[in-house]
């Protein structure tokens, strides 16, 4: 029997003697020839890796030599089979295990971290379940559906000492880092307005009606009960599978869907990682363009649909200059070229100060898994920036201006709005 705490190398030495190692163990198993020794690898699994998750998996997970991907859980057979096939082809074996029930997969003791890319309704529950099971978590955005889920996410991360990274990947991209650094370093002077790109794709006012029942697939093909998860039950309809973002029980509207990225960038830039705005206006429109949230220090965070050449942009306006960036920019736009004269030094100094990397967002997460250091999109920043989207949604849905207490995390003198800080969860799937 192998002792529980005995490493692979120790076991082999005891079993065969040090002199026999070159004949029994390939160089790759010992970390030679450029390979990573098993004791230094992060054993990883995935939950719900569809279109977005599959892209991150193939581009940011499989290529990492210090990651061993071993399992996929998905309620859709075609998706779990696809991930297994990609994994097995990459490693040249048939070892990737498939699961329908994430609880069964999370019970495995050998898994260190999970990548979660389910629909929004499952992000927080799956993250919390994984951290309770001792796993570190990389979760796609939006990481929560409600303020209460965010509170539970932070509490769980702290209690179980788990590393959490929200999937707001632009926080790890060079151009966006430089934008935030220019603000933090005071190069823009006093900044009172920051702008967050709002792309009008998902509706603001989500559907609450049920679609008509259709023939439900067998559980092996699609586990409908698990697909719904903590959300209120309704009969199967295939439209939910591709258009769930339009429904209240499954989505967070245009604000949560898009500003989960751009609000996080703004929160990070203005030093508001651990708080949220105190004022939320009602726009009385189907497109909340120009919605201005106000922090306690007077800084306004304004959602705008226009003004960028690309998506997920931010723009910071100060007394001595401005900077703007979005996807696809070669370099940020600036009010004067001198702001970017030391672009590379800004990045180098940022990495030296924080210990973060500009390789990619997943790599930054993996580094934190090893170091046990804080991620750039940690649970606190994720929760507080998502609280901004949830509170903004509630102000629009109820159609009135609202004031927020960021210490108590509740609306001031508005019981109806405070009841919307959580959503109903089905018995059997309750997490918070």
Percent of the chain residues past pLDDT 70, beyond the cut: 92
* Predicted confidence (pLDDT) at residue 3 exceeds the cutoff of 50: no
Q: Do residues 377 and 166 make contact, with C-beta atoms less than 8 angstroms apart?
A: yes
* Higher pLDDT pick, 21 / 68: 68
* Higher pLDDT pick, 17 / 120: 120
The pLDDT confidence band at residue 429, using thresholds 50, 70 and 90, is: confident
For helices 120-132 and 147-159, give the axis angle rounded to 10 degrees: 20
Q: pLDDT digits over 159-211, tens only?
A: 999 999 999 999 999 999 999 999 999 999 999 999 999 988 899 999 999 99
Q: How far apart are CA 262 and CA 267, in angstroms?
A: 9
CA distance from start to end of the chain: 41
Domain extents for the chain?
24-169, 170-204+251-359+380-421
Q: pLDDT digits over 389-410, tens only?
A: 999 999 999 999 999 999 999 9
The pLDDT confidence band at residue 16, using thresholds 50, 70 and 90, is: very low
Q: How far apart are CA 143 and CA 389, in angstroms?
A: 11
* Predicted confidence (pLDDT) at residue 21 exceeds the cutoff of 80: no
CA distances from 206 to 69, 77, 93, 124, 209 (A): 37, 29, 45, 20, 9
Q: Do residues 385 and 153 make contact, with C-beta atoms less than 8 angstroms apart?
A: no
3-state secondary structure (DSSP) of residue 30: helix
Bridge-based pairing state of the strands 97-99 and 113-116: unpaired
Lookup: tokens for 305: 């649909």
At 359 the pLDDT is: 81
**Which stretch of 19-28, 40-49, 150-159, 185-194 has the lowest confidence by average pLDDT?**
19-28
At 164 the pLDDT is: 98
* Predicted confidence (pLDDT) at residue 296 exceeds the cutoff of 60: yes
Average pLDDT (353-370) is: 94
Architecture of domain 24-169: 3-Layer(aba) Sandwich (3.40)
The pLDDT confidence band at residue 256, using thresholds 50, 70 and 90, is: very high
Q: How far apart are CA 81 and CA 4, in angstroms?
A: 32
Q: Do residues 226 and 424 make contact, with C-beta atoms less than 8 angstroms apart?
A: no
Q: What is the pTM of this model?
A: 0.91
Q: Which fold, 170-204+251-359+380-421?
A: Dihydrodipicolinate Reductase; domain 2 (3.30.360)
3-state secondary structure 145-171: CCHHHHHHHHHHHHHCCCCEEECCHHH
At 11 the pLDDT is: 26
Rounded to 5°, the CA angle 279-285-290 comes to: 50
Q: pLDDT digits over 120-142, tens only?
A: 999 999 999 999 999 999 999 99
Phi, psi (5° rounding) for residue 161?
Answer: 55, 50
Q: Do residues 312 and 260 make contact, with C-beta atoms less than 8 angstroms apart?
A: no
Q: What is the mean pLDDT of the chain?
A: 92
At 4 the pLDDT is: 35
């Amino acid at each position: 029997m192998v002792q529980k705490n005995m490493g692979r190398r120790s076991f082999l030495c005891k079993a065969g003697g040090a002199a026999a190692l070159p004949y029994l163990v390939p160089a790759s198993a010992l970390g030679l020839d450029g390979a990573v020794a098993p004791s230094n690898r992060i054993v990883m699994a995935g939950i719900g890796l569809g279109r977005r998750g599959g892209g991150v998996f193939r581009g940011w997970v499989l290529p990492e030599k210090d990651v061993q991907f071993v399992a996929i859980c998905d309620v859709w057979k075609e998706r779990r089979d696809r991930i297994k096939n990609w994994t097995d082809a990459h490693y040249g074996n048939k070892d990737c295990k498939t699961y329908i029930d994430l609880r069964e997969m999370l019970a495995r003791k050998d898994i260190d971290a999970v990548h979660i890319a389910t629909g929004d309704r499952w992000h927080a529950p799956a993250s919390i379940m994984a951290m309770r099971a001792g796993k570190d978590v990389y979760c796609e955005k939006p990481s929560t559906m409600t303020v209460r889920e965010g509170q539970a996410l932070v509490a769980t991360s702290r209690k179980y000492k788990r590393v959490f990274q929200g999937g707001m990947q632009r926080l790890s991209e060079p151009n966006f880092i430089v934008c935030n650094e220019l603000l933090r370093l005071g190069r823009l002077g006093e900044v009172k307005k920051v702008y967050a790109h709002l792309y009008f794709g998902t509706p603001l006012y989500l559907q609450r009606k049920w679609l008509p029942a259709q023939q439900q697939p067998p559980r092996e093909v699609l586990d409908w009960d698990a697909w719904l998860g903590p959300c209120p039950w309704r009969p199967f309809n295939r439209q939910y599978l591709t258009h769930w973002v339009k429904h209240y029980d499954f989505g967070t509207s245009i604000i949560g869907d898009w500003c989960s990225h751009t609000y996080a960038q703004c929160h990070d830039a203005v030093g508001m990682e651990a708080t949220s705005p105190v004022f939320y206006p009602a726009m009385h429109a189907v497109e909340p363009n120009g919605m201005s949230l106000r922090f306690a220090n007077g800084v306004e965070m304004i959602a705008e649909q226009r003004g960028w050449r690309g998506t997920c942009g931010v723009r910071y306006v100060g007394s001595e200059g401005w900077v703007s960036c979005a996807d696809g920019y070669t370099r940020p736009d600036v009010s004067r070229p001198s702001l970017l004269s030391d672009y590379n030094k800004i990045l180098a100094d940022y990495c030296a100060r924080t210990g973060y990397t500009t390789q990619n967002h997943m790599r930054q997460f993996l580094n934190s898994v090893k170091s046990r250091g804080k991620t750039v999109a940690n649970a606190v920043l994720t929760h507080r920036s998502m609280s901004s989207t949830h509170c903004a949604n509630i102000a629009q849905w109820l159609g009135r201006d609202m004031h927020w207490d960021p210490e108590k995390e509740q609306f001031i003198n508005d019981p109806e709005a405070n009841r919307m800080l959580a959503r109903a969860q089905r018995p059997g799937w309750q997490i918070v």
